[in-house]
Copies of this chain bind each other. A is one copy, B any other.
Amino acid sequence: MAQNARLQGLGILVLCALLYPAMTTGQQPVLNLMPLPASVQSGAGSMGVDSSFSVAFTGYTEPRLERAGERFLRQLARQTALPLSLKPAGLAKATLVVHTEHASKEIQEVGEDENYVLEVTTAGAKLTAPTPLGAMHGLQTFLQLVDVSPSGFAAPALKIQDQPRFPWRGLMIDSARHFIPLDVIRRNIDGMEAVKMNVFHWHLSENQGFRVESRKYPKLHELGSDALYYTQDEIRDLIAYARDRGIRVVPEFDMPGHSTAWFVGHPELASGKGPYAIERKWGIFDPAMDPANEKVYKFLDDLIGEMARIFSDHYFHIGGDEVNGKEWDANPKIQAFMKAHGIKNNEALQAYFSGRVQKLVTKHGKTVIGWDEVLVEGVPKDIVIQSWRGQASLAKAAKQGYRGILSNGYYLDLGWSAARHYAVDPMSGDAANLSAQEKQRILGGESCMWAEYVNPENVDSRIWPRNAAIAERLWSPQEVRDAASMYARLDFVSARLEWLGLTHRSVSRHMLRRLAGSASPAEFAALRTLADVLEPVKDYTREQTAPAEPTSATPMNRVVDAVPLESDAGRRFGELVDLFVAASCHDPAAEARLRAQLATWRDNDAILQPLAQRSFLVQEVAGRSQDLAALGSAGLAALDVIAMGQPTADSWKAQQLASIDAAKKPKAQLLLIPAPAVQKLIEAVTAGGACASPKP
């Protein structure tokens, strides 16, 4: 890759960029950029940003750039509350000059030039880019550079040369399981722009809903959506909105499985007898399209044609995942068809179906993208594989000549930490051993927001801020992987994202208010103290531990719905314990902070319990509150032993560990995040009452 070659030449600068946040102390400006640019050369001083700040565009220009400029100024005004003029300035007067060389493609393509160079001096700033895509990325970088300083708002003097590592950097939102209104989609697209993602993958059909107006087959949305769908005009607007932000929109119509909602209006497409109703539960279901029925292909030809005219992107996602084959097995006509055509098994039958659909998509001028399962022998080489299975299957596809993107490891709904997502690299595992040519086939990745347990209220908080870490993984050089630096910058970027209207930070407090009813201020504070260290159970545990089978009508008003998927307070406590133990427990400042935190937790339960008596939704976490109190007490006991240097009875450690056993187990589908750290504290206590750092 040309990019990589260029990157090596910039090695030292990249390193500078990596170290910068950690290096800077005191009054030095911190570069809170995310994603981190390919190269940063820091300069001296900074450029003030005041009410006279203005932007001029030179070189190639187009209305989209002008709109980007106005949006940039609006955003800068929001960040600073400065009364900026939104009108473009004359070149001589402008404080930021944006020079664009030429147009990008009318329909944005994979691998278009997104590079930019941003130079900030004390006198002004210049942004140059080959295309509007690069210019827009550079504007976002500038927004992240502007911060409050001792003398006003300012951007540090520096030179950034930047380009993406991967050309496909996506976020998938499932708005089929739970409908997500357009205003929520739009603000998430704003968030994507801020972190330089460039593909919005829109999962539009599912067992639980068909979310697009079809004029050709209106029963699809009329009977398959509970009246929750996007009109064609709305979709066209959304695509224009995304294009304005350098973002492609790839629609997904999942077939032949995941398609119950289609069959409510069109049972003739299905392999089973019907009638069908919109699915209300979650899971993998039997209904699947009938690959043996020619009318299905006629129907799909019409529908794909209609949708291909609305969705302008060159790629069209046909899903293809998780067909259990039960309806096929039970249908004699399908069995006869398989026999007649020498189709040996259901996998081959799906391959036949995918092949037919792929031809239809090609006929309508698009390239197919699908989940792992669509990759079967004989599929044309131009399709793109989206891997939910992992780097191994991605590498296998690349070896066979297929392009692919990674989603395994980027499922936002599984509740992983930002650090865990961040550690997943499309080029790791089997992919690391590919040839240069094969590596080029790995286009990037997509984070996925599956929507069983998200709704318009809390979806932002399930996507952000963790999605910004994935965005960095896909944009920044592979060497950028220090989790501590990532978290420091993420905290800043996360706060900034709320200026775009995203609610990922504020919604938790809002939802806790609902739980808390007429709580006193002290009770509400106690609820927040508890909620701050809780996380929903991970992976697919929520399904497995549900008190009653969840459906799309299950209210999402519980603590598990309200707390963020990653607990900042829990993570910070863990870091503090690590620091303390690493210092052989001789760190009075850390000890004081630990004691304060542990005492708060120990005493919190007494404040919270009266509220739990009054609210069934708080009652659900009353046990977790007691567990947190136990953690507080056990942690303090360990600190006391260490402080006294008092030898403990053999049984002491076992007793303490037993006392926090309950805290370590999930309850109310919630994990108590500080439990392992308190355990570490207890385990650090030696029999002699000293403190032993654990082995590295």
A residues apposed to B, CB below 8 Å: 26-27, 30, 32, 51, 79-83, 147-152, 457, 491-492, 495, 498, 506, 510-511, 513-518, 521, 553, 555-557, 561, 568, 572, 610, 613-619
Task: Assess whether A495 is in contact with B521, with CB atoms less than 8 Å apart.
Answer: no
Task: Assess whether B513 is in contact with A495, with CB atoms less than 8 Å apart.
Answer: yes
Task: Assess whether B518 is in contact with A568, with CB atoms less than 8 Å apart.
Answer: no
8 new A-B contacts at CB < 8 Å, known A26-B610, A27-B613, A149-B517: A51-B555, A80-B555, A81-B555, A147-B517, A148-B516, A148-B614, A498-B510, A506-B506
Task: Chain B residues near A498: list those with CB within 8 A.
Answer: 510, 513
Which of B511, B521, B616 makes the CB contact (< 8 A) with A572? B521
Task: Assess whether B152 is in contact with A616, with CB atoms less than 8 Å apart.
Answer: yes
Chosen A-B contacts, 20 in total, with CB atoms closer than 8 Å, are: A26-B610, A27-B613, A27-B614, A32-B518, A80-B555, A81-B511, A81-B556, A81-B557, A82-B557, A83-B555, A147-B518, A148-B515, A148-B615, A148-B617, A148-B618, A150-B616, A491-B521, A495-B513, A498-B513, A521-B572
Q: Shortest beta-carbon distance, A297 to chain B, in Å?
A: 37
Task: Chain B residues near A618: list those with CB within 8 A.
Answer: 148
Task: Assess whether B615 is in contact with A514, with CB atoms less than 8 Å apart.
Answer: no
Assembly CA distance A148 to B513 (angstroms) = 10
Assembly CA distance A179 to B516 (angstroms) = 36
| Leading 8 A-B pairs by shortest Cβ distance | A81-B557, A148-B517, A148-B615, A147-B517, A81-B555, A83-B553, A492-B518, A495-B513
Q: Shortest beta-carbon distance, A401 to chain B, in Å?
A: 46
Given A553-B83, A556-B81, decide whether A149 and B615 contact each other with a Cβ distance below 8 A: yes
Task: Chain B residues near A614: list those with CB within 8 A.
Answer: 27, 148-150
Task: Assess whether A79 is in contact with B514, with CB atoms less than 8 Å apart.
Answer: yes
Chain B residue with minimal CB distance to A81? Answer: B557
Q: Shortest beta-carbon distance, A146 to chain B, in Å?
A: 9
Task: Chain B residues near A147: list those with CB within 8 A.
Answer: 517-518
Assembly CA distance A80 to B514 (angstroms) = 7
Assembly CA distance A555 to B26 (angstroms) = 27
Chain B residue with minimal CB distance to A152? Answer: B616
Number of copies: 2
Task: Assess whether B149 is in contact with A457, with CB atoms less than 8 Å apart.
Answer: no
Task: Chain B residues near A152: list those with CB within 8 A.
Answer: 616
Task: Chain B residues near A83: list those with CB within 8 A.
Answer: 553, 555
Q: Shortest beta-carbon distance, A161 to chain B, in Å?
A: 23
Task: Chain B residues near A516: list those with CB within 8 A.
Answer: 148
Assembly CA distance A492 to B613 (angstroms) = 18
Q: Shortest beta-carbon distance, A278 to chain B, in Å?
A: 14
Q: Shortest beta-carbon distance, A259 to chain B, in Å?
A: 24
Assembly CA distance A39 to B617 (angstroms) = 31
Task: Assess whether A81 is in contact with B514, with CB atoms less than 8 Å apart.
Answer: yes
Task: Chain B residues near A557: list those with CB within 8 A.
Answer: 80-82
Q: Shortest beta-carbon distance, A461 to chain B, in Å?
A: 14
Task: Chain B residues near A491: list those with CB within 8 A.
Answer: 521
Assembly CA distance A518 to B496 (angstroms) = 10
Task: Assess whether B82 is in contact with A616, with CB atoms less than 8 Å apart.
Answer: no
Q: Shortest beta-carbon distance, A627 to chain B, in Å?
A: 21
Which of B26, B150, B517, B617 makes the CB contact (< 8 A) with A615? B150
Q: Shortest beta-carbon distance, A542 to chain B, in Å?
A: 17
Q: Shortest beta-carbon distance, A125 to chain B, in Å?
A: 19
Assembly CA distance A556 to B83 (angstroms) = 9
Assembly CA distance A619 to B152 (angstroms) = 11
Chain B residue with minimal CB distance to A498? Answer: B510
Task: Chain B residues near A572: list those with CB within 8 A.
Answer: 521
Assembly CA distance A517 to B30 (angstroms) = 10
Task: Chain B residues near A506: list those with CB within 8 A.
Answer: 506
Task: Assess whether B457 is in contact with A81, with CB atoms less than 8 Å apart.
Answer: yes
Assembly CA distance A516 to B79 (angstroms) = 11
Q: Shortest beta-carbon distance, A89 to chain B, in Å?
A: 17
Chain B residue with minimal CB distance to A511? Answer: B81
Task: Chain B residues near A82: list those with CB within 8 A.
Answer: 555, 557
Assembly CA distance A557 to B83 (angstroms) = 11
Task: Chain B residues near A513: list those with CB within 8 A.
Answer: 495, 498
Task: Chain B residues near A148: list those with CB within 8 A.
Answer: 514-517, 614-618
Task: Assess whether B518 is in contact with A150, with CB atoms less than 8 Å apart.
Answer: no
Q: Shortest beta-carbon distance, A96 to chain B, in Å?
A: 19
Task: Chain B residues near A27: list those with CB within 8 A.
Answer: 613-614
Task: Chain B residues near A521: list those with CB within 8 A.
Answer: 491, 568, 572
Chain B residue with minimal CB distance to A24? Answer: B518
Assembly CA distance A515 to B149 (angstroms) = 10
Q: Shortest beta-carbon distance, A298 to chain B, in Å?
A: 37
Quick one: which of A26, A150, A511, A553 has the most chain B CB within 10 A?
A: A150
Chain B residue with minimal CB distance to A513? Answer: B495
